[in-house]
């Protein structure tokens, strides 16, 4: 404090000694120094400083804050599962190419059985760590990326019985493997978030 007072005293003395009165020094409540310009206003010499624009934002209502929280939660969940839906699309194309090269149904069944084991070893822990909400979003995004519902994929590569079994399990947890992605309807927010992710803004 003593050092700041000394600096101000010196500056004041220099101003008085040189006879200059074009600038004043002002200290604001935050302890910042401002150089004030002396300006003539209607024959009166007054100190003046240029202020930055101040934006005043009203406090959001509880409903608005809740909606903002829900949207941020949706962003988090989509970002969590979107990479998996892209992996499903890549694997889907690879599997179809591989199945076309196999000579008979026996070889195809063996390939799919081994693939299932490999996928379980690779992704089981990740899937177990997902929340139910994230699982529902992933089901929708699988349909977005492959144009097939999760139920249709299981039925195509395993059997109707297996697809029906897993559909029953999903329904217990309030999910639906037959869910379709609707970017222009109930899933428009998810689609908007994905567009933002793809453009590197999220």
**What is the 3-class SS of the chain, one letter each residue?**
CHHHHHHHHHHHHHHHHHCCCCEEEEECCCCCEEEEEEEEECCEEEEECCCCCCCCCCCCCHHHHHHHHHHHHHHHHHHHHHHHHHHHHHHHHHHHHHHHHCCCHHHHHHHHHHHHHHHHHHHHHHHHHCCHHHHHHHHHHHHHHHCCCHHHHHHHHCCHHHHHHHHHHHHHCCCCCCCCCCCCCCCHHHHHHHHHHHCCCC
Long-range contacts of 127-132 (CB under 8 A, 24+ apart): 130/80, 130/81, 131/77, 132/173, 132/174, 132/175
Q: List, for residues 33-89, the tens digit of each pLDDT value.
A: 666 677 787 888 877 777 777 777 667 777 778 788 999 999 999 999 999 999 999
What average pLDDT does the segment 140-144 reach? 95
Higher pLDDT: 53 or 150? It is 150
Higher pLDDT: 90 or 44? It is 90
Residue 9 structural domain: 2-48
Alpha-carbon distance of 16 to 117, in angstroms, equals 88
Lowest-pLDDT choice from 15-19, 45-49, 87-91, 181-185: 15-19
Q: Does residue 155 belong to any structural domain of this protein?
A: yes
Question: Are 43 and 67 in the same domain?
Answer: no
Question: Are 36 and 67 in the same domain?
Answer: no
Question: Are 80 and 107 in the same domain?
Answer: yes
Question: Are 26 and 123 in the same domain?
Answer: no
Q: Does residue 94 belong to any structural domain of this protein?
A: yes
Question: Are 153 and 99 in the same domain?
Answer: yes
CB 156 within 8 A of CB 162: no
Question: Are 119 and 158 in the same domain?
Answer: yes
Query: Number of structural domains, the chain?
Result: 2
pLDDT of residue 135: 92
Alpha-carbon distance of 180 to 67, in angstroms, equals 24
Q: Does residue 159 belong to any structural domain of this protein?
A: yes
CB 111 within 8 A of CB 158: no
Question: Are 33 and 133 in the same domain?
Answer: no
Q: List, for residues 103-125, the tens digit of each pLDDT value.
A: 888 888 888 888 888 888 888 88
Q: Does residue 56 belong to any structural domain of this protein?
A: no
Question: Are 30 and 109 in the same domain?
Answer: no
Q: Does residue 53 belong to any structural domain of this protein?
A: no
Higher pLDDT: 124 or 145? It is 145
Higher pLDDT: 1 or 145? It is 145
Q: Does residue 31 belong to any structural domain of this protein?
A: yes
């Amino acid at each position: 404090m003593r050092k700041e007072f000394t600096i101000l005293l010196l500056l004041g003395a220099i101003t008085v000694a040189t006879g200059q009165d074009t600038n004043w020094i002002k200290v604001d409540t935050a302890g910042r120094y401002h150089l004030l310009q002396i300006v003539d206003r209607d024959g009166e010499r007054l100190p003046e400083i240029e202020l930055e624009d101040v934006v005043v934002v009203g406090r959001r209502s509880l409903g608005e804050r809740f909606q903002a929280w829900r949207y941020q939660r949706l962003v988090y969940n989509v970002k969590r599962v979107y990479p998996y839906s892209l992996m499903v699309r890549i694997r889907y194309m690879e599997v179809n190419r591989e199945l076309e090269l196999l000579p008979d149904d026996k070889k195809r069944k063996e390939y799919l059985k081994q693939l299932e084991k490999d996928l379980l070893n690779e992704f089981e822990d990740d899937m177990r760590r997902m929340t139910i909400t994230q699982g529902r979003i992933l089901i929708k995004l699988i349909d977005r990326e492959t144009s097939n519902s999760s139920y249709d994929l299981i039925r195509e590569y395993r059997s109707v019985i297996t697809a029906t079994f897993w559909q029953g399990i999903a329904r217990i947890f309030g999910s639906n493997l037959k869910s379709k992605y609707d970017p222009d309807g109930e899933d428009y927010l998810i689609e908007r978030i994905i567009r933002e992710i793809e453009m590197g803004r999220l």
